[in-house]
């Protein structure tokens, strides 16, 4: 993703020219398979929390469509959520919306 500096962001190619990224990165050109693909004008939209209680109205996720087909297969997405999260490992470092550490870099949560 081109967010003003090399390596400044990332996205996930979903298929049919659609990309999911972080809203704070924004919709921008993305390198897929060594080829840079531009964003189709007026296709970016920010995802919402669907009115969930205790959540902000908008998420930090944006979806946008590429101007040209990169020729990659679609990402298979399960039609329903998982019931049992056993076997999943979540790890990483994030910042809260206030800019403070929400999860230390070495922290991980397993279930």
Higher pLDDT, 50 or 101: 50
- Residue 87 has a pLDDT of 61
CA–CA separation, 1 and 22 (whole Å)? 10
pLDDT tens per residue, range 21-74: 999 888 888 888 888 899 999 999 999 888 778 888 888 999 999 999 988 888
| pLDDT grade for 107, boundaries at 50, 70 and 90 | very low
Average pLDDT across the chain, whole number: 75
The answer to whether the predicted template modeling score (pTM) of the entire model surpasses 0.85 is no
What does the pLDDT read at residue 111?
Answer: 35
């Amino acid at each position: 993703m081109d967010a003003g500096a090399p390596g400044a962001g990332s996205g996930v190619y979903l298929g049919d020219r659609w990309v999911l990224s972080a809203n704070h990165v924004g919709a921008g050109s993305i390198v897929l398979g060594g080829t840079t693909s531009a964003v189709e004008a007026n296709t970016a939209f920010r995802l919402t929390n669907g009115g969930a209680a205790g959540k902000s109205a908008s998420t930090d996720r944006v979806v946008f469509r590429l101007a040209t087909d990169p020729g990659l297969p679609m990402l298979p997405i399960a039609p329903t959520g998982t019931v049992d999260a056993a076997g999943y490992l979540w790890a990483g470092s994030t910042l809260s919306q206030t800019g403070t550490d929400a999860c230390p870099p070495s922290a991980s949560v397993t279930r």
